[in-house]
A and B are shown apart, each in its own frame.
Chain A
């Protein structure tokens, strides 16, 4: 008797704590997903409470939608490049800042002035994406008033009568945006990796140094394996950021909710918003939302699985 009663009491005790957060989670996270899923089978215009059920029409239209397919492709490109470049740069800088200095009397430390670098690197993270968009809007401005164009004109590399229209070049625009994301992200991941590196016991490094390991070897054989968990998490986060990209693309590029020129910087979120708010095809937009959700979930699982390794305890 006592065992059952105890079990019940404990379950009730736990449930008591969980019921409120669970209710909130169901209402504000799960319910909108369910709604979106439901709407994706309708021809809802987004401005009216009436709509008809259209079955899988939205999804079959989505398959044929070249703009959306292009956007998907851009998201996948970003998915490859954003995490890779950001993590590699952040790792490199973090290593230099924490363990890259010439060792003095057997100690391990960063290059000179590393504490200052850490703060400077973190600056971009403090800025909101909206400020970032304005800032880089001025950098990429298409006349000689732009920072890049002004600079290149002074150097004589760009003809002032024909400045580079950075964000209006089909084959440049995506890379310009990529640069912004990387610039924004590196600082944060640098700090994250720094924290992880500092929790690595010093004697491991000392042992490596005594064995005559150089910087590169220390990094590849010691630092990276010990940081693997952090790198893995970062990859998932950055991957999700690369699947979104809405704020930057919609404010920096041309077109209703961005995506220009001529769909060359389109990401799924911008196509979705244009259909949702501008074309009055909200049901169709909801179908895109469902596709995005599924892709993001698949991405997270795949990344975590693919990067799974043996854990090193220390």
Chain B
């Protein structure tokens, strides 16, 4: 009380800031309690009656909060879906199409008020492994066991192409519905190949041969999206899987100590890719280009081949010349490969998830069930130029573009000969480290043996991750 006009004394200031520090320590625990404790108060609308037509008990007239990644597929398909959903259930859907998935959703996950359905995709996706680890994802098994909308005698599970469930499983729980069916491999211009009289290469030697011929004709051989080594990793990993068989692939996903080191298939694959570099068959400058830059250069006939997934055609729609005649090519095989040339890496992209703490969880689950109907699958194919994981999910009357059509043909030829890696979804850090090594390999700064060593180190590091014990494929 005795303070005069001097204001705060220095001693007071110190005392008070110390007090402030003391307060802030207990508030930490308060904060975490607050963040995780809100779940019961936000439990949303009343539940509807659970019937055969309404297996999750969606309440009529509720709200549905949908967030989708607005990337290569746009978000018109989602708007069409939401309209159909609202019509059927009398709900009011709120729609957000964004590229900033993590920035928009991270605070909502942390605050315990996430949306009901999310297409968690794109460069800024929140990694599914991370979400699953935090217990943020609803178990989607009920969707699989619910009756299909097309044929109530069948379960939704039976309408899916093989591998869908396996891919969306984290720690033994099916938590993510990867919806867009994607095949991976090389792509080339049917027009260019016809002009030059080149045949589709089936072996790696034939592939190199065409690259050499292209180089002689003043065209680059192989282009790749150098700024994103993800793409060249597809080639390396596919070669490993084809040469060494599914065992070699699973060894990598299961983080085995000899996944790369001491695995002759792995070394052969990396050496094969390195041959392209050593023989100078890369498109000039491709190592530093972004995906759009290199793909556009390839569209301008500056390279014979480019690796990518089947989203390529939709992504390049504007840059592709009318008569380009885009064609898909399975990764050619090395000598003594265990899988045939026709085998392809095929899997699904665009993980759709329902958060565990969603206000309208029933609505979210019902939304996913509807997505797996033929009606919604066709809507998607029309709006986004791509296939879905629904078996024969597209009306045969829908006309496909040449690249997609050739990919569909490749899928048919491959039959059961498809494979898919899971480590990129399971172990983000290991994936990143292998990508870095591949970037060095393509720039001729490391040799195949060094690549193997670095990749194995990344595997060994991931094996120490406490999360590793949850993921295993057989």
A140 nearest CB neighbor, chain B only: B288
User: Are B36 and A47 closer than 8 Å at their CB atoms?
Assistant: no
User: Is B432 an interface residue when CB atoms closer than 8 A count as contact?
Assistant: yes
Q: Which residues of A contact B110 (CB under 8 A)?
A: 46-49
Q: Which residues of B contact A165 (CB under 8 A)?
A: 226, 285, 287-288, 443
Q: Which of A14, A45, A278 contacts B133 (CB 8 A)?
A: A45
3 closest Cβ pairs, A-B complex: A142-B288, A48-B134, A143-B285
Listed A/B pairs (17) with beta-carbon separation below 8 Å: A4-B4, A8-B3, A14-B7, A47-B131, A48-B131, A49-B36, A142-B287, A143-B283, A143-B284, A143-B288, A145-B285, A168-B288, A255-B435, A256-B123, A260-B227, A262-B439, A279-B130
B226 nearest CB neighbor, chain A only: A168
User: Are B428 and A280 closer than 8 Å at their CB atoms?
Assistant: yes
Q: Which residues of A contact B111 (CB under 8 A)?
A: 49
From residue B217, how far is it (CB to closest CB) to chain A in Å?
13
From residue 186 to 205 of chain A, which have CB atoms closer than 8 A to chain B? none
Give a binary string over B281-316; 1 marks a CB under 8 Å from any A CB, 0 the rest.
001111111000100010000000000000000000
A76 to B193 CA separation, bound complex (whole angstroms) = 52
Indicate the member of B110, B133, B288, B440 with the most A CB atoms within 10 Å: B288
Q: Which residues of A contact B293 (CB under 8 A)?
A: 141, 143, 145
Q: Which of A35, A142, A149, A255 contacts B436 (CB 8 A)?
A: A255
A34 to B23 CA separation, bound complex (whole angstroms) = 11
Q: Which residues of B contact A140 (CB under 8 A)?
A: 288
Other A-B pairs beyond A47-B130, A49-B110, A145-B285, 9, CB < 8 Å:
A6-B5, A11-B5, A35-B28, A48-B133, A48-B135, A143-B285, A168-B288, A260-B439, A279-B428
A8 to B2 CA separation, bound complex (whole angstroms) = 10
User: Is B24 an interface residue when CB atoms closer than 8 A count as contact?
Assistant: yes
A11 to B5 CA separation, bound complex (whole angstroms) = 7
Partner-A contacts on B (CB < 8 A): 3-7, 24, 28, 31-32, 35-36, 102, 106, 109-112, 123-124, 126-127, 129-131, 133-136, 226-229, 280, 283-289, 293, 297, 428-429, 432, 435-437, 439-440, 443, 445
Q: Which residues of A contact B286 (CB under 8 A)?
A: 142-143
User: Are B284 and A163 closer than 8 Å at their CB atoms?
Assistant: yes
User: Are A144 and B109 closer than 8 Å at their CB atoms?
Assistant: no
B134 nearest CB neighbor, chain A only: A48
User: Are B285 and A47 closer than 8 Å at their CB atoms?
Assistant: no
Give a binary string over A34-54; 1 marks a CB under 8 Å from any B CB, 0 the rest.
110010000001111111000
A313 to B443 CA separation, bound complex (whole angstroms) = 58
A277 nearest CB neighbor, chain B only: B102
Q: Which of B123, B134, B429 contacts A47 (CB 8 A)?
A: B134
User: Are A47 and B136 closer than 8 Å at their CB atoms?
Assistant: yes
Contacts between chains A and B (CB distance < 8 A), count: 140
From residue A166, how far is it (CB to closest CB) to chain B in Å?
7
User: Is A254 an interface residue when CB atoms closer than 8 A count as contact?
Assistant: yes
A262 to B35 CA separation, bound complex (whole angstroms) = 37
User: Are A168 and B134 closer than 8 Å at their CB atoms?
Assistant: no
Indicate the member of A45, A49, A141, A142 with the most B CB atoms within 10 Å: A49
Q: Which residues of A contact B428 (CB under 8 A)?
A: 278-280
User: Are A254 and B439 closer than 8 Å at their CB atoms?
Assistant: yes
User: Are B439 and A256 closer than 8 Å at their CB atoms?
Assistant: no
B297 nearest CB neighbor, chain A only: A143
From residue B348, how far is it (CB to closest CB) to chain A in Å?
21
Q: What is the total number of residues of chain A having a CB less than 8 Å from a CB of chain B?
A: 47
From residue 136 to 170 of chain A, which have CB atoms closer than 8 A to chain B? 140-146, 149, 160-163, 165-168, 170
Main SS class of interface, A:
loop
Q: Which of B7, B124, B440 contacts A277 (CB 8 A)?
A: B124
Q: Which residues of B contact A46 (CB under 8 A)?
A: 106, 110, 130
B3 nearest CB neighbor, chain A only: A7
Indicate the member of B24, B32, B127, B285 with the most A CB atoms within 10 Å: B285
User: Is A101 an interface residue when CB atoms closer than 8 A count as contact?
Assistant: no
From residue A111, how far is it (CB to closest CB) to chain B in Å?
39
User: Are B36 and A141 closer than 8 Å at their CB atoms?
Assistant: no
A46 nearest CB neighbor, chain B only: B106
A160 to B28 CA separation, bound complex (whole angstroms) = 59
Q: Which residues of A contact B28 (CB under 8 A)?
A: 35, 38
Once A7-B4, A141-B293, A170-B445 are accepted as A-B contacts, the answer to whether A51 and B32 lie under 8 Å apart by CB is: yes
Q: Which residues of B contact A280 (CB under 8 A)?
A: 127, 129-130, 133, 428
User: Is A221 an interface residue when CB atoms closer than 8 A count as contact?
Assistant: no
User: Are B131 and A11 closer than 8 Å at their CB atoms?
Assistant: no
A3 to B5 CA separation, bound complex (whole angstroms) = 8
Q: Which residues of A contact B123 (CB under 8 A)?
A: 256
User: Is A184 an interface residue when CB atoms closer than 8 A count as contact?
Assistant: no
From residue B452, how far is it (CB to closest CB) to chain A in Å?
16
User: Are A166 and B288 closer than 8 Å at their CB atoms?
Assistant: yes
Q: Which residues of B contact A102 (CB under 8 A)?
A: none
From residue B416, how far is it (CB to closest CB) to chain A in Å?
34
From residue B125, how far is it (CB to closest CB) to chain A in Å?
9
From residue B329, how far is it (CB to closest CB) to chain A in Å?
23
User: Is A261 an interface residue when CB atoms closer than 8 A count as contact?
Assistant: yes
User: Is A10 an interface residue when CB atoms closer than 8 A count as contact?
Assistant: yes
A167 to B285 CA separation, bound complex (whole angstroms) = 11
A170 to B445 CA separation, bound complex (whole angstroms) = 10
User: Are A142 and B289 closer than 8 Å at their CB atoms?
Assistant: yes
